[in-house]
Amino acid sequence: MKQKSFALLTFGGLCYLGFKLYKEKQNQDNGLIEYNQVTIEKEKIDEIEISKNLDNIRKIQISKNLDNICNQTIRKGEQPNRLMIEPFSEFTSFNQINFSLRLNLKKYLKGMRRARGDDNCFYTSFCFQYLGYILNKASVQEFQDFISMVDTLPFSVIHNNIEYEQNDEMKQSFKQYCQIIRSIQENRNQNFFDLFSDPQGQFYGLSIIFLRNLAYKFCQENDEIRSLLQAEGPFLKELLLTWNKECLSMEGVIKSLSHKLNIQTTLFRINSQTNNISQEQYNQIPNSKLIIYLVQGQGFYFIGIPQNQS
């Protein structure tokens, strides 16, 4: 009798266990269905948002002057579609820096982003990091202050000895790009990278003109830096507003931008002849909201990626 009861109990236990496993599986299936439904709905919302953002970007007025400048420079040559800023790479990808210098850089950086090699590369490297902060991380008040600052600039540019002054349509287009990127909820940083790095679009060119005008404004306001830059020969306006022109005394520009924007800049200067790297700090402040990392070598500026940056 005891054996029979035990057998019944065992059979009942197995039935209960089987029923419990069935219910758990059913709950998992229901949860999976619910999860898939939520995922599908989210993807639909994301697609609607992407479509809306693309429509808004297409509506931004195209500057014919900027298009002509880009067609004659960055969209010309053997690699017209090469990105203005490349994705993160480890040091093994940078053949123009010798092995021992790369080992030295690895003490401070885990890699770099390559800026396309032209005489805008300083402005490209600096602007990408500054706008990346403003459009992705800055507070609402900081972004409003940024837009107010943009409103003070004429967006002038010089190309082939022709000065295009007071380009209000460029200013408005740049503001629209920034406001659209800032409003993106999903993958905002990736959207910013895609727009900034695209040589066929206008956001890159507008960003460079913005920073050149900002540098010109700030350097004009500082007698010491203005004198330092003008010692090179050309007028300050020609030196800083000419597309694809880099001045020799970039230290003054870095110092001025860092101080006026209240950010910190760390510059790693590579000397291939002495096989040394010097590190310079501009506007070193505690708890800086943004630290810009630049790597300067012969004929290039790249973006440094610090060890602690994800």
Q: How confident is the model at residue 5 (pLDDT cuts 50, 70, 90)?
A: very low
Residues 49 and 108 in one domain: no
CA dist., res. 260 & res. 218, Å (int): 7
Residue range 147-165: mean pLDDT, rounded = 97
The predicted structure's pLDDT at residue 208 = 98
Residues 114 and 259 in one domain: yes
CA dist., res. 95 & res. 136, Å (int): 32
Residues 176 and 289 in one domain: yes
| Number of other residues whose CB lies within 10 A of the CB of residue 302 | 28
Query: What does the pLDDT look like over 178-215, one tens digit per residue?
Result: 999 999 999 999 999 999 999 999 999 999 999 999 99
Residues 242 and 121 in one domain: yes
45: Cβ–Cβ under 8 A, 6 or more apart, which residues?
none
Q: How confident is the model at residue 2 (pLDDT cuts 50, 70, 90)?
A: very low
Identify the H or E element spanning 163.
strand 162-164
The predicted structure's pLDDT at residue 30 = 67
Please indicate whether residue 124 or residue 39 has the higher confidence score (pLDDT): 124
Residues 136 and 69 in one domain: yes
Considering the chain, what percentage of its residues have pLDDT values greater than 70?
83
Residue 225 has pLDDT above 60, yes or no: yes
Residues 40 and 153 in one domain: no
Domain that holds residue 8: 1-59
**H helices present in the chain, as ranges:** 2-58, 64-72, 99-105, 121-136, 140-151, 168-183, 188-197, 203-220, 223-230, 236-241, 250-261
Number of compact structural domains in the chain: 2
Q: DSSP letters of 209-266?
A: HHHHHHHHHHHHT-HHHHHHHHTTSS-HHHHHHBTT---S-HHHHHHHHHHHHT-EEE
Domain closes at, from 39, 59, 79: 59
Residue range 206-226: mean pLDDT, rounded = 95
Residues 297 and 168 in one domain: yes
Query: What does the pLDDT look like over 51-85, one tens digit per residue?
Result: 678 788 989 999 999 999 999 999 998 889 999 99
Residues 49 and 93 in one domain: no
The predicted structure's pLDDT at residue 27 = 66
The predicted structure's pLDDT at residue 28 = 65
> The whole model's pTM is what?
0.83
Q: How confident is the model at residue 6 (pLDDT cuts 50, 70, 90)?
A: very low
CA dist., res. 127 & res. 114, Å (int): 13
Residue range 17-26: mean pLDDT, rounded = 63
Which tokens go with 83? 């990105």
Residues 50 and 136 in one domain: no
* Mean confidence (pLDDT) of the chain: 88
Question: Are 177 and 195 spatial neighbours (Cβ–Cβ below 8 Å)?
Answer: yes
Q: How confident is the model at residue 121 (pLDDT cuts 50, 70, 90)?
A: very high
Per residue, the 3-state secondary structure of 77-88, as one string, reads CCCCCCCCECCC
Residues 86 and 231 in one domain: yes
The predicted structure's pLDDT at residue 33 = 66
Residue 39 has pLDDT above 90, yes or no: no
CA dist., res. 153 & res. 182, Å (int): 20
Q: How confident is the model at residue 96 (pLDDT cuts 50, 70, 90)?
A: confident
In whole angstroms, what separates CA 23 from the centre of its chain? Answer: 50
The predicted structure's pLDDT at residue 4 = 47
Residues 52 and 66 in one domain: no
Q: How confident is the model at residue 23 (pLDDT cuts 50, 70, 90)?
A: low
The predicted structure's pLDDT at residue 9 = 43
Of 13-27, 146-160, 218-232, 268-282, minimum mean pLDDT range: 13-27
Residues 5 and 89 in one domain: no
CATH of the domain at 301: 3.90.70.80
Amino acid present at 115:
A
